Copies of this chain bind each other. A is one copy, B any other.
């Protein structure tokens, strides 16, 4: 009955926070509750965005709801997160974002000035990313029936390259890159929410990644195998999912993974692992061995990156999907997130 999963046929007794963690329980909920009923070749891919073929053009389509608490935090707010998050889901397929929808669920009594501030953020983030909000919807529920504001954004993008960006294209010897430090968003939200007074210097990394993704694809073409933005569940969970889909194993070096000092300190105090903390402006890129040096240069040249690094490589499938060489020279299996360290991270 771990994770609320019933004993027979995977029936789920009750929805738990863990089911929204982006980790193992989320994955089970998706498979048992949603794929079992809604299965189709596009949905079954479980990519960050769906790839559709419409009258000869290829379109990426994605959706995400944002329930982050607090709604304002160092480095951003729920509005900026909602715009950048959906743009990034499109970007991970290499799509050029074209249009966003905006669906608001507001709690009765929500202050107009907070709403105005969030909408200013939405407008600014969309403008900076070069994307328009083209359709919207607003619902208001009575006081106590929602917590302040929830935002859904769905996004449409154009796929301009002629090969799929998907983990199933990863080959042994391909290299795994990360575009910058990990754990910044998760550590920021956690310390701010708990009022721990630890958040000096911490800031969310929310940012749009589509320009960096397009730059990599435009120059390196199919040498780029796949992208993923490690949001809920963190870097560790995304790597396990990619390795599974690739049918390979990933070997990662702990020392190569960039972590900001402030994030490392918070993690040490709170007993957290930065590899499981959410990121909102980082991408994993898996590229061919030959293209890796140039990919790193491209990342380094762009303002979206902060300390990109090669963190590991793909190898033939071993005993576990992801194995990490630790700083002290040991080797350990990296698992998907289990248990919810931090609900409402995004």
Contact = CB atoms under 8 A, between A and B. Distances in A.
Interface of A: 4, 6, 11-20, 26, 29-30, 33-34, 37-38, 40, 42-43, 49-50, 52, 54-57, 59, 61-67, 69, 98-99, 101-113, 115-116, 119-120, 122-123, 126, 132-142, 144-147, 150, 152, 154, 156, 158, 343-344
A42 B134 contact: yes
Given A16-B140, A152-B103, A126 B38 contact: yes
B141 A67 contact: yes
A68 B344 CA distance: 23
A110 B14 contact: yes
Given A37-B122, A146-B145, A158 B19 contact: no
B123 A154 contact: no
17 contacts: A15-B115, A18-B140, A26-B138, A30-B138, A37-B123, A38-B102, A43-B133, A43-B136, A52-B98, A54-B54, A54-B59, A62-B101, A62-B135, A65-B103, A65-B152, A69-B145, A145-B147
Contact of A134 (B15, B16, B50, B107): B50
A110 B17 CA distance: 10
A13 B109 CA distance: 9
Given A14-B110, A52-B98, A103-B103, 15 more contacts: A15-B110, A20-B139, A38-B102, A38-B122, A38-B123, A43-B135, A49-B135, A55-B57, A55-B158, A61-B101, A62-B135, A63-B101, A145-B147, A146-B146, A146-B150
Contact of A150 (B57, B105, B120, B122): B105
Contacts of A40: 132-134
Q: How many copies does the complex hold?
A: 2
A271 B245 CA distance: 59
Contacts of A109: 14-16
B52 A20 contact: no
A88 B144 CA distance: 30
Contact of A141 (B57, B116, B344): B344
A4 B108 CA distance: 11
A116 to B, nearest CB: 7
A64 B137 CA distance: 5
A52 B16 contact: no
Query: 5 nearest interchain CB pairs?
Result: A20-B140, A63-B101, A154-B154, A12-B112, A50-B134
Given A54-B57, A99-B61, A112-B13, A20 B106 contact: yes
Nearest to A148: B145
A160 B102 CA distance: 25
Nearest to A66: B139
Contact of A33 (B119, B140, B343): B119
B63 A136 contact: yes
Contacts of A102: 34, 38, 63
Contact of A17 (B13, B15, B104, B142): B142
B140 A105 contact: no
Contacts of A156: 52, 54, 59, 61, 156
Contacts of A126: 38
